[in-house]
Structure 1
């Protein structure tokens, strides 16, 4: 891959947005050639916090369990977790709707459960700014029960909330009879040779600090508490080793993509992101054009990302490493893909 202007675009973006460090790796499908651009103290093997990119690992294991017929999309979640713990988790119109939540509702973010990091009365984001703290799964359940749900499970709406993937992580542990970090290591990291990646299971793990745009926050307790919703650590190279087999159906039966590719727009704060089965989709360009570029995979609050653009047949992994402006990673991808598209057109016209 040789693209003349990519480095100039990347460097200008990093300078304009005052990013201490950033990295992006581009690789064509079925090719060993790649372009890697970086700024600051970071390279292809430098670990960074994945945040919600971790959800792709959870999606992978869940689909494997469906392939093994240990659960199904329509399985009720209370079949795998203690009913007394889940009671009144989903409160809507004065009634407990928890017994209707399915695996698919969690996977597609259609459960209607709230996002307690950004919603009253819990609003965890304010506490995160002030201190590092641990929270348990039971704590999260308690906070969610204090916050009203947004719609009935299975509605044709999507609402992004970390509790969905924390629940999926606990269901995976219940079905596999092993810890989530051990399960991820066994089924994803080791087979794919992702030697620099892991799911944090302890605050004493080597967890990189998070840049907020002003300073670096050390939050090992918080990140290790996130588990399957956002507790992953990885690198640009390792993410590339993962996202390719994920997209190409090498980690689970390929027919899952027929179901997973049903997308719904997320709540306003996440626009223009759409959510499918365990992954995000973004579309760029003029709305009325049918040939608009799209890319799917996942990004995280930390600035981490792993995506695939089918129209240009290219994978993108890396991080803009700024939790204060997590949208920057999407903006960078827009710029890079527009340039790739422009150069592809010039190449065809030559």
Structure 2
């Protein structure tokens, strides 16, 4: 389990100046290999990346936290994919949108919120619930944080606690992800993200503006984790029967299906879909985060990869990273 070509592709990200540093994990069945290379920070001074450092994993929150709790509720019959969002969130007026639409990003919810990042949490909540459904509804997959923000609020209605609190004690703690949290206590152990005019150097606090406002009630971003903890999560996906109370096996095994209304968008519940050719042609699930993170999980081959960077440090969005990220994924899928 060495993956020399994939590691070389990771090193090129550093030598080409695409990212400051990389933490990674390769999972093969019950074996995990972790490593790191490069720097944790470039400003205010260079800082070497240390083993076990904690990353703001951004939208990985959607699949690690919010989706996991949602699958539990689906397995328990407390929630159905056909449930209307408006039945759980009465302030949302469009009765066409269902849980399935939220989970597959086919809700078509759009709209502009003036001064969004400066709003207080109650005002942002009200503004999000006043958004509308556009022409892509039920036809096209359009990735949007609002889907998982709504999903988090629905989970809160069912369980009576904020989504991040629910994810901590229903997913992270029982899986033994002991360094994963929504409230880091030691900013120095966290890899910093961007430097912004409003907030300065962001370190140990969520980078995502909506997550920063909504805090515990945000189901789309806010999780901090390590390569080792996320490897533990991936391993649980490979063997969900061992953690059936956390990741319901019946649902986990169905996540390689395209769950969108057209079944042609390469999107599952939560996860994006891609293809692997080994041991035979089959689907693989993956998800990324804005800060420069992603997970790739091949359930059939019992293999997975965790990739963590802070590509938004010191400034976002660092668009050249996106092509390089996809190239690394392609290298990994071909090499494994």
Smaller-chain TM-score bracket: 0.7 to 0.9
| Partner residue of 2:202 out of 214, 218, 224 | 218
The 3-state SS of whatever aligns with 2:69 is helix
1:196 aligns with 2:185: no
Q: 2:179·2:226 contact (CA, 8 Å) conserved in 1?
A: yes
Separation in 1 of the partners of 2:177 and 2:80?
28
Separation in 2 of the partners of 1:199 and 1:332?
28
Number of aligned pairs? Answer: 303
Q: CA deviation at 1:111?
A: 1.0
Alignment of 1:162-311 (within 5 A): 162-200=145-183, 209-211=192-194, 217-218=201-202, 220=205, 222=209, 223-225=211-213, 227-249=218-240, 250=243, 251-257=246-252, 259-263=254-258, 274-283=266-275, 295-310=284-299
| Runs of 5+ consecutive residues of structure 2 not aligned to the other structure | 40-47
> Paired residue for 1:34?
33
Q: Which has the higher contact order (CA 8 A, sep 6+)?
A: 2
1:63 aligns with 2:36: no
Comparing 246-255 with 52-61, greater Cα deviation is found at 246-255
Q: 2:128·2:146 contact (CA, 8 Å) conserved in 1?
A: no
Q: CA deviation at 1:69?
A: 1.5
Q: CA deviation at 1:144?
A: 6.6
In structure 2, the CA distance between the partners of 1:290 and 1:110, relative to structure 1 (3 Å rule), is farther
Separation in 2 of the partners of 1:192 and 1:22?
24
TM-score under structure 1 normalisation? 0.73
The 3-state SS of whatever aligns with 1:198 is coil
In structure 2, the CA distance between the partners of 1:71 and 1:263, relative to structure 1 (3 Å rule), is same
In structure 2, the CA distance between the partners of 1:151 and 1:11, relative to structure 1 (3 Å rule), is closer
| Partner residue of 1:54 out of 42, 48, 61 | 61
> Paired residue for 1:75?
83
In structure 2, the CA distance between the partners of 1:290 and 1:21, relative to structure 1 (3 Å rule), is closer
> Paired residue for 2:43?
none
1:45 aligns with 2:52: yes
Q: 1:208·1:218 contact (CA, 8 Å) conserved in 2?
A: no
Separation in 2 of the partners of 1:254 and 1:311?
14
Q: 2:55·2:226 contact (CA, 8 Å) conserved in 1?
A: yes
In structure 2, the CA distance between the partners of 1:123 and 1:11, relative to structure 1 (3 Å rule), is farther
In structure 2, the CA distance between the partners of 1:58 and 1:247, relative to structure 1 (3 Å rule), is farther
| Runs of 5+ consecutive residues of structure 1 not aligned to the other structure | 88-97, 266-272, 342-350
In structure 2, the CA distance between the partners of 1:295 and 1:15, relative to structure 1 (3 Å rule), is farther
Tell me how large the CA RMSD over aligned residues is.
3.6
